[in-house]
């Protein structure tokens, strides 16, 4: 039997660390992959290329905006940001978002036309330890999946236009 310690008013256990916050649970990636498999199975069963294109477009939307991932922008200290975000195109804060936007523009071979200067200067010195080019660099997996999703979106749009004829 557990002795009564006299703190009946707080039945919840204390957090692991002071100031720690519990992040909400996210749905499993298996749910999304089951949906994509259902689209593929239905497209094969019905022999419908339009349903297959819709499944491809859903996967592209998932990769761009819905996949649970990490920010991964290098902080001034030199290590990647570990904040959770949704979508490979998004970051956790406005200054990180500007760095990620620059990286996506560089991925297609252009400069960001909306760039407003250094996105995250050091508050003490006004400079940065790593250049914005290095800090906003996309990981190899993110680059590959963003390019695959972009190609999938283009294939879907071209095939839809071709299907209207």
For residue 81, give the nearest of 67, 65, 69, 68 by alpha carbon. 69
Cα separation, 27 vs 21, whole angstroms: 19
In a domain, 139, yes or no: yes
Tally of domains in the chain = 1
More confident residue, 143 or 14: 143
In a domain, 15, yes or no: no
- The pLDDT value recorded for residue 77 is 72
- The pLDDT value recorded for residue 98 is 85
Cα separation, 55 vs 61, whole angstroms: 10
In a domain, 150, yes or no: yes
In a domain, 90, yes or no: yes
In a domain, 88, yes or no: yes
Overall residue count recorded for the chain in this entry = 165
In a domain, 75, yes or no: yes
What digits encode the pLDDT tens for the residues 111-141? 766 666 655 555 555 554 555 656 667 788 8
Residues 6+ apart with CB under 8 A from 27: none
What digits encode the pLDDT tens for the residues 70-108? 888 887 777 888 899 999 889 988 888 888 888 888 887
Cα separation, 87 vs 134, whole angstroms: 21
Structural domain of residue 121, as residue ranges?
29-163
In a domain, 114, yes or no: yes
- The pLDDT value recorded for residue 158 is 93
More confident residue, 154 or 100: 154
In a domain, 21, yes or no: no
In sign, the C-alpha dihedral spanning 7, 11, 16, 18 is negative
Cα separation, 46 vs 48, whole angstroms: 5
The proportion of the chain whose per-residue pLDDT surpasses 70, expressed as a percent, equals 68
Six token digits for residue 80: 């990647």
């Amino acid at each position: 039997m557990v002795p009564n310690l006299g703190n009946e008013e707080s039945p919840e256990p204390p957090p692991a660390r002071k100031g720690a916050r519990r992040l909400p649970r996210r749905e499993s990636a298996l749910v999304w992959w089951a949906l994509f498999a259902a689209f593929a199975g239905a497209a094969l069963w019905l022999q419908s290329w339009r349903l297959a294109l819709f499944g491809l477009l859903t996967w592209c939307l998932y990769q761009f905006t819905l996949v649970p991932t990490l920010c991964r922008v290098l902080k001034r200290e030199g290590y990647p940001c570990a904040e959770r975000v949704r979508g490979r195109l998004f970051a956790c804060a406005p200054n990180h978002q500007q760095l990620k936007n620059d990286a996506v523009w560089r991925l297609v071979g252009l400069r960001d036309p909306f760039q407003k200067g250094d996105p995250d200067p050091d508050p003490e010195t006004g400079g940065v330890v790593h250049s914005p080019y290095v800090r906003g660099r996309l990981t190899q997996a993110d680059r590959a999946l963003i390019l695959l999703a972009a190609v999938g979106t283009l294939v879907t749009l071209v095939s839809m236009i071709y299907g209207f004829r």
